[in-house]
Amino acid sequence: MKMKVLVTPKAAVLDPQGAAVRDAMQHLGMPEVRSVRIGKFLEIEIEDNAPDWETRFNGLCRDLLSNPVIEDYQVQGMEKAK
C-alpha cells in the first residue's frame, strides 16, 4: 500500500523559507502571490497486513516525520501499490 503524507508548518508558525520564495516570486513578475508555505511530501510504501499498522503509522508520522510542536501532518491517500 502507498501512503502519501504531507507535513506543513502550523498556521501560527512563521515560515521564513516560504516568505523568501514568495518575495522571489513577486520580484520575478508575480506580484499577486500573497503567501507561500513550504512543507514536505513523503510517499511511503508499506505492507498493510500487520495488526494495528494504521495506529503505528500515524504515531511515526507524528513523532518522526513531523515536529508536533511546529508542524502538522496529514495522510492524503491510500492506494494499493502496483
* Domain 2-79, CATH among 3.40.50.720, 2.40.50.140, 3.40.50.10470, 3.30.1280.10: 3.30.1280.10
Contacts 24+ apart (CB under 8 A), 75-80: 75/3, 75/4, 75/5, 76/4, 76/5, 76/6, 77/3, 77/4, 78/1, 78/2, 78/3, 78/4, 79/1, 79/2, 80/1, 80/2
Domain ranges of the chain: 2-79
pTM beyond cutoff 0.75 = yes
The arithmetic mean of pLDDT across residues 21-36, rounded, is 97
pLDDT digits (tens, 9 = 90+) for 30-74: 999 999 999 999 999 988 788 888 899 999 999 999 999 999 999
Among 47, 44, 60, 55, residue whose Cα is nearest residue 3: 44
pLDDT digits (tens, 9 = 90+) for 4-21: 999 999 999 999 999 999
Question: How far is Cα 8 from Cα 72, in angstroms, rounded to an integer?
Answer: 5
The arithmetic mean of pLDDT across residues 73-81, rounded, is 76
Q: What is the pLDDT of residue 58?
A: 93
Question: How far is Cα 49 from Cα 43, in angstroms, rounded to an integer?
Answer: 18
Q: What is the pLDDT of residue 63?
A: 94
